[in-house]
């Protein structure tokens, strides 16, 4: 003769819904989603080589200096733009490795694109921005204006009738 499990589950549900167990409601087995994560959202193994370039932004008083590390990239593969006060550095990297030795042959081709944007202050002289590239380091010099351009418009307030 089989015993019914239903009354036991009902008792467990009532006990777990008691105020003393309310804090355990969000508890999940740490391994419950492990296989779902591995099968449907596998981890990405990105190397630092294809990550966004490291940038330093330095305010030197009369100018702003932006330094970006771009190892292994030539200046022809980098684009620098300024639009609406946003300086954008973008480009593509491509690397090809080929090794041949006794018993094996390895050929890897990897590529990727990157983009970094920073908002510049309103008091910059867009006509005098200068960029130099040497040994994988891009240096962008952004001169400042003496005074910020007036973009503030005062709106008169009328008395309502």
Report if residue 94 sits inside a domain: yes
Do 86 and 61 belong to one domain?
A: yes
Lowest mean pLDDT among 10-19, 33-42, 75-84: 10-19
Condensed to tens digits (0 to 9), the pLDDT of residues 109-130 reads 878 888 999 999 888 999 999 9
Report if residue 24 sits inside a domain: yes
Phi and psi torsions of 112, nearest 5°: -175, 160
Report if residue 86 sits inside a domain: yes
Condensed to tens digits (0 to 9), the pLDDT of residues 31-58 reads 555 555 555 555 554 444 456 789 999 9
Do 35 and 103 belong to one domain?
A: no
Report if residue 161 sits inside a domain: no
Residue 106, judged by CB atoms within 10 A of its CB (0-12, 13-18, 19+), counts as exposed
Report if residue 150 sits inside a domain: no
Strand pairing category for 86-101 and 78-83: antiparallel
Do 122 and 92 belong to one domain?
A: yes
Q: What integer pLDDT is reported at residue 30 of this predicted model?
A: 58
pTM of the model: 0.57
Q: What integer pLDDT is reported at residue 93 of this predicted model?
A: 82
Is the pLDDT confidence value at 77 over 80?
Answer: yes
What's the domain count of the chain? 2
- Only one residue has tokens 């008395």, namely 159
* Structure confidence at residue 153 as a pLDDT band (50, 70, 90): confident
How does the average pLDDT of the chain come out, rounded? 77
Report if residue 80 sits inside a domain: yes
Do 53 and 80 belong to one domain?
A: yes
Print the domain residue range for 112. Answer: 48-143
Do 30 and 87 belong to one domain?
A: no
Condensed to tens digits (0 to 9), the pLDDT of residues 130-146 reads 999 999 999 999 999 88
Q: What integer pLDDT is reported at residue 87 of this predicted model?
A: 94
* HEC secondary structure over the chain: CCCCCHHHHHHHHHHHCCHHHHHHHHCCCCCCCHHHHHHHCCCCCCCHHHCCCCEEEEECCCEEEEEEECCCCCHHHEEEEEECCEEEEEEEEEEEEEEEECCEEEEEEEEEEEEEEEECCCCECHHHCEEEEECCEEEEEEEECCCCCCCCCCCCCCCCC
Report if residue 35 sits inside a domain: yes
Condensed to tens digits (0 to 9), the pLDDT of residues 86-110 reads 999 999 888 788 888 888 888 888 7
């Amino acid at each position: 003769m089989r015993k019914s499990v239903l009354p036991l589950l009902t008792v467990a549900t009532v006990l777990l819904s008691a105020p003393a167990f309310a804090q355990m409601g969000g508890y999940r087995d740490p391994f419950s989603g492990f296989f779902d994560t591995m099968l449907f959202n596998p981890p990405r193994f990105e190397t630092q080589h294809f990550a966004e370039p490291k940038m330093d932004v330095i305010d030197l008083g009369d100018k702003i200096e932006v330094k970006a590390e771009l190892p292994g990239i030539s200046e022809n593969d980098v684009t620098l733009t300024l639009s609406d006060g946003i300086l954008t550095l973008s480009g593509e990297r491509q690397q090809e490795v080929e090794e041949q030795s006794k018993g094996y042959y390895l050929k890897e081709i990897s590529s990727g694109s990157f983009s970094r944007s920073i908002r510049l202050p309103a008091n910059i002289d867009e006509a005098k921005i200068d960029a130099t590239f040497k040994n994988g380091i891009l240096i962008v010099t952004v001169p400042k204006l003496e005074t910020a351009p007036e973009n503030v418009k005062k709106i008169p307030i009328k008395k309502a009738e």
